[in-house]
Amino acid sequence: MPKTSVNTAETLTPRGRRTRDALLAAARTVFETVGFPECRVELIVQEADVSYGTFYRYFESKEHVFKELSTQLFEDVHRREPADPGLSPAERLVASNRSYYQAYRRNAKMMAIVEQVATFNDDFRELRHEHRKQLIDRTARAIARWQQEGLADRGLDPVLAARAMAAMVDHTLYLWLIQGDAADEAALLDTLDRMCLGALGLAPEAGK
């Protein structure tokens, strides 16, 4: 199928944006149903009930649409609402963790596929690393600030601590939400919160 020039989201009419969004939704359904290797443009256009030509007006390939979906996924999972200035550092960390847990859970099927594709596709591995680095950098800056305020263990390297915490949380959620390891939700999330706080030497009442 020869490809036409691709319209970007910024240049679309409202109708065009709706069509593009419908294609993204259809593609996500197909990816979550059959996985990345078995997904074909044919399945996406069937799910969206559009023609091949319509697909290629908005996306170059299944890889292109998967990259767009992956970017949306990471933005959702790593998004943080502005923290209440009245919260202590410990409370902010717990609130941030809970926001991450909730986003991971509502995107679990797509997260599983992204993690799989990142093992054999260099471009998507780099995309995964880029977004993970943004999360780690943000956490490391917060840890460094708490260290300066005398609230967190000053003997820790902020970046390494952020990486270790992210790995612990990610792997635990992966085993629970994707691999199906049985766990009591409240107990598991409370344990992750306590382990993060304990690793930093950050008392629950610190900063109040």
Handedness of CA 115, 120, 126, 127 (dihedral sign): negative
Taking the C-alpha atoms of residue 31 and residue 185, their distance in angstroms, rounded to an integer, is: 27
Closest to 27 measured CA to CA, from 76, 61, 1, 74: 61
Taking the C-alpha atoms of residue 77 and residue 123, their distance in angstroms, rounded to an integer, is: 20
Using DSSP's 3-state secondary structure scheme, residue 30 falls into helix
Multiple choice CATH, 9-60, 1.25.40.340, 2.60.40.420, 1.10.1060.10, 1.10.10.60:
1.10.10.60
| pLDDT for position 205 | 55
Taking the C-alpha atoms of residue 34 and residue 154, their distance in angstroms, rounded to an integer, is: 48
| pLDDT per residue of the chain (208 residues) written in tens, 0 to 9 | 444 456 666 577 888 899 999 999 999 999 999 999 999 999 999 999 999 999 999 999 999 999 999 999 998 888 776 667 788 899 989 999 999 999 999 999 999 999 899 999 999 999 889 888 988 999 999 999 999 999 999 999 999 999 999 999 999 999 999 998 999 999 999 999 999 999 999 876 544 4
* Domain regions of the chain by residue span: 9-60, 70-200
Superfamily of domain 70-200: Tetracycline Repressor, domain 2 (1.10.357.10)
| pLDDT for position 2 | 45
| pLDDT for position 206 | 44
DSSP-derived secondary structure letter, 154 = T
